[in-house]
Amino acid sequence: MGAWSGFGITFRTMFRKTFTQGYPQKGEEKITAPRYHGRHQLNRWPDGLEKCVGCELCAWACPADAIYVEGADNTEEERYSPGERYGKVYQINYLRCILCGYCIEACPTRALTMTNDFKFSNRTRELMIYEKDQLLAPLLPGMEEPPHPRRLGADEKDYFLGLPPTGQPDTRTGQPAAKEAEK
């Protein structure tokens, strides 16, 4: 009886329409959940400098040994990140990666995040190793391609708070609705 009931479930689901029925020919793409762990992205500061400081904590946290990071020192002539170091070489091998998210939890600067991109197929094994230029977030308007000096403040405190040169610190108390109700 058990084997026949299992076959019945299989037979019922064989002809069910799936979400991949028209993909990719008809252009119907699956919409992922907002917290889906997809392709990695190396983020930038608002002036365009990289957030990665080459600490290699993401590589140490990776249980599949899929991440390789090689750090280097910044100089005043060539500055790629606001700190003392930057990630000179950054590679993720997606043939090994299990998309667990331990690397993004280990990152102290929130330089590494995961996007919703789930298309990873390629024709060769070499193309499945993503290099730093493939992982870096695109430059947005107002950002400048590194290397360049820090542009977001006179000192490190202003820079890491993300204040633009003309910006003002946030002096709100956090309860504006309560103050307006008292008036």
Residues within the annotated binding site for [4Fe-4S] cluster? 52, 55, 58, 62, 97, 100, 103, 107
- CA–CA–CA angle 24, 30, 35 (5° rounding): 140
Question: Contacts by 156-161 with C-beta closer than 8 Å and gap 24+?
Answer: 156/82, 159/45, 159/82, 160/82
Nearest alpha carbon to residue 89 among 38, 150, 42, 155: 42
Q: How far is CA 18 from CA 13, 21, 68, 149, 166, in A?
A: 10, 5, 37, 52, 53
Ordered alpha helix ranges (H), 74-144: 102-106, 132-135
Element (H, E) at 72: strand 67-73
Tokens of 159: 């820079």
